[in-house]
Amino acid sequence: MLALQINDLRKVYRGGTEALKGVDLHVQAGDFFALLGPNGAGKSTTIGIISSLINKTSGSVKVFGDDLDKDLVRAKSHIGLVPQEFNFNQFETLMQIVVNQAGYYGVPRTLAKQRAEKYLKQLDLWDKRNAPARELSGGMKRRLMIARALMHEPKMLILDEPTAGVDIEIRRSMWVFLKKINQQGITIILTTHYLEEAEMLCRNIAIIDKGQIIENTSMKGLLSKLNVETFVLDLPPNSIQPTLQDFDFRQIDDHSLEVDVPKSSGLNAVFSQLSDQGVQVLSMRNKSNRLEELFVRLVENGRTDNASAEQENNLE
Amino acid sequence: MNSLQLTALRTIWIKECTRFLRIWIQTLVPPAITMSLYFVIFGNLIGSRIGQMGGFSYMEFIVPGLIMMAVITSAYANVSSSFFSAKFQRNVEELLVAPVSNWIIILGYVGGGVTRGLLVGALVTMVSLFFVDLQIHNPLMLLLTLVLTATLFAAAGLVNAVFAKTFDDISMIPTFVLTPLTYLGGVFYSLALLPEFWQWVSKANPIVYMVNGFRYGFLGVSDVGIGTSVAVLIGFNVLLFGLAWNLINRGVGIRS
Ligand SMILES: Nc1ncnc2c1ncn2[C@@H]1O[C@H](COP(=O)(O)OP(=O)(O)OP(=O)(O)O)[C@@H](O)[C@H]1O
Ligand SMILES: [Mg+2]
């Protein structure tokens, strides 16, 4: 069963920004799925469309088989959303916020109050239940939004950068909590800038950049892909076709060869095998790899984000 | 309407009432004070020199209009500021992600505005009892005009909030449109006092019909036909609810 099925999703904002250029995404029920991408990639736009906050330009979205265009009420009921930006009324108390949210999904008030106790306790907010939301710290506000999203007990929880601006200790405890509810059967989709976070939590991952999905694979598959570098070797015209043991390689034409080299094993073995076969290598270059480039960018962003987060912590 | 939508409607209504009751000093007290001042100054001090208006003491004549004025302002202000602040703080998204129908969103907000309007109306009426013995000529007409006016201006407040981009935008219409129309809407005088031309112009002012319909409920006198009053009220209600529905449905100002 597919929890989420997105086909050829496009979004052009008023003003002309083309935020999504034909996104396809499939997420299995029960999955823990990461949508990873740099700033402005289109993560929030995708999530906004799934959760009816943004109108799509074209394409289709199905949530547990219910099409947003045909079965909107059912589709919405399956989803719990934790948005990127705080979007509760700062003057309402935590209790009011979560109980009212349940009411909007048709949960009767007495039941809503029981659930409020359950989820506010689980997210360590029960002591603050009668405080207005503006009195919470940033990390507490994030957890409040998670509690709010669970009030109607959705089948799928979507979190848009849930751990942004949250210190490492609370981030870890949020990870534990999310893993636990995923094990209880809730499908989870989260967006993040941090590969580390995706690695810790997710089974499958899609990478989005400039409004396009450039990779959609299992977490394991991604990590092994990232561990391999591809080189293009230029050979003299009309060389014999060499073979290479222990390496994946492709003969592109009669004078170029592509070889995938795991970062751990190095290039020497490639060259020695080639010279044994009498194949001369004229030159060699790195094959440009969008995933690789993006990954480097993400890691660099991650580093600067973490560095500034640490600085902030030091200030406190 | 199924139980999901009913629960949602109830929830929005409770949330709206909780909001204005929490800030009652801003929402309930000011109209009671303002209207007391009107009663003292216009009704008692000046009114005693004016003598009769439309066959009644000046105080009796202005009380229905003043109640109506308080109801209009409160119903309008409640929805316009609450919905605009929901847009501004983005908590309107709590409703947009949920399976609440757009009609329920509209009815919930309008319900909150009407409740505040009626509550303020009741308060002002109680205050007025210190100054005048109120008679009720036609309770049905009184209730009908009261409720239809409250729903009409609550819906208008919602439309205002949908278009508003800043807090200034929600005080513009009350200041530049509502207040003048109310003051010129026959609250303080009978249209019969005006030259024929201005009587004719006044009849283009919808508030004239509301004030007079309501006054008819109390006193049994009106400058305009009662049937026309009800028709104008129903017409404007249909217009504003239709407009509100169209705007919310298209996501104007709330969905990108
Ligand atoms: N309301 C809007 N109006 C116009 N353009 C928008 C709007 N929201 C987003 N965009 C544009 O759409 C593109 C994708 O933005 P989006 O918010 O989806 O990125 P993102 O992947 O969530 O980024 P981040 O990691 O910074 O949150 C960006 O170019 C952004 O400027
Ligand atoms: Mg985003």
Alpha-carbon distance of A160 to A79, in angstroms, equals 13
Q: What is the mean pLDDT of residues A293-300?
A: 63
Q: What is the mean pLDDT of residues A183-205?
A: 90
The CATH number for A2-220, chosen from 3.40.50.300, 1.10.10.10, 2.60.40.1930, 3.30.565.10, is: 3.40.50.300
Q: What is the mean pLDDT of residues A51-58?
A: 96
Between the CA of A53 and the centroid of ligand 1 the distance, in Å, is 13
Q: What is the mean pLDDT of residues B8-26?
A: 96
Alpha-carbon distance of A248 to A7, in angstroms, equals 33
pLDDT, mean over chain B: 93
pLDDT, greater one: A226 or A258: A258
Any atom of ligand 1 within 6 Å of the Cβ of A301: no
SS3 content of chain A, % helix, strand, coil (to 5): 40, 30, 30
Q: Binning pLDDT at 50, 70 and 90, where does residue A164 land?
A: confident
Nearest to B7 among A86, A88, A106 (CB): A106
H-helix or E-strand spanning residue A54: none
Q: Binning pLDDT at 50, 70 and 90, where does residue A309 land?
A: very low
Q: What is the mean pLDDT of residues B234-252?
A: 96
Closest-CA residue to A27 (of A225, A226, A227, A213) = A213
Q: Chain B residues with CB inside 8 Å of A53's CB?
A: 93, 96-97, 255-256
Structure tokens at B163: 């278009």
Q: What is the mean pLDDT of residues B80-93?
A: 95
Q: Binning pLDDT at 50, 70 and 90, where does residue A316 land?
A: very low
In contact, A27 and A7? CB cutoff 8 Å: no
Any atom of ligand 1 within 6 Å of the Cβ of A48: no
Interface touch B4/A108, C-beta < 8 Å? no
Note the pLDDT of residue B99.
97
In contact, B187 and B215? CB cutoff 8 Å: no
Cα separation of the two ends of chain B: 29
- pLDDT over 70 at A310, yes or no: no
Atom of ligand 1 nearest to the CA of A41: 21
A140 in contact with B at a CB cutoff of 8 Å? no
* Every domain of chain A and the residues it spans: 2-220, 226-316
Highest-confidence segment of B35-44, B75-84, B201-210: B75-84
A101: closest chain B residue by CA: B94
pLDDT per residue over A211-236, tens digit each?
999 889 898 888 777 777 888 888 88
Q: What is the mean pLDDT of residues A43-61?
A: 97
Any atom of ligand 1 within 6 Å of the Cβ of B2: no
Q: Chain A residues with CB inside 8 Å of B101's CB?
A: 73
- The CATH architecture to which A226-316 belongs is 2-Layer Sandwich (3.30)
Q: Binning pLDDT at 50, 70 and 90, where does residue A311 land?
A: very low
Question: How close B102 comes to chain A (CA, Å)?
Answer: 12
Pocket test for ligand 1, best of A17, A192, A197, A294 (most atoms within 8 A of CB): A17
- pLDDT over 90 at A279, yes or no: no
Which of A81, A92, A104 is the best substitution to test chain B (most B C-beta atoms within 10 A)? A104
Q: What is the mean pLDDT of residues A149-177?
A: 92
Interface touch B96/A52, C-beta < 8 Å? yes
- pLDDT over 60 at B185, yes or no: yes
Q: Binning pLDDT at 50, 70 and 90, where does residue A296 land?
A: low
- pLDDT over 90 at A289, yes or no: no
pLDDT, greater one: A239 or A153: A153
Note the pLDDT of residue A290.
63
Any atom of ligand 1 within 6 Å of the Cβ of A42: yes
Closest-CA residue to A98 (of A55, A40, A31, A144) = A144
Percent of chain A having pLDDT more than 70? 91
Pocket test for ligand 1, best of A20, A45, A55, A298 (most atoms within 8 A of CB): A45
Instruction: Give the pairing of strands A187-192 and A32-36.
Output: parallel
> H helices within A79-159, ranges in order?
94-104, 109-122, 138-150
Q: Binning pLDDT at 50, 70 and 90, where does residue A115 land?
A: very high
pLDDT per residue over B210-221, tens digit each?
999 999 999 999
pLDDT per residue over A58-110, tens digit each?
999 999 999 999 999 999 999 999 999 999 999 999 999 999 999 999 999 99
Q: Binning pLDDT at 50, 70 and 90, where does residue B87 land?
A: very high
Interface touch B95/A107, C-beta < 8 Å? no
Q: What is the mean pLDDT of residues A128-138?
A: 95
pLDDT, greater one: A199 or B209: B209
- pLDDT over 70 at A292, yes or no: no
Note the pLDDT of residue B155.
97
Interface touch B93/A83, C-beta < 8 Å? yes
Highest-confidence segment of A158-172, B183-197, B223-237: B223-237
Nearest residue (by CA) to ligand 1, atom 27, is A39
Same fold: A2-220 with A226-316:
no
Between the CA of A109 and the centroid of ligand 1 the distance, in Å, is 36
Question: How close B129 comes to chain A (CA, Å)?
Answer: 36
Structure tokens at A113: 């109050």
Nearest to B97 among A53, A86, A88 (CB): A53
Interface touch A87/B11, C-beta < 8 Å? no
Q: Binning pLDDT at 50, 70 and 90, where does residue B238 land?
A: very high
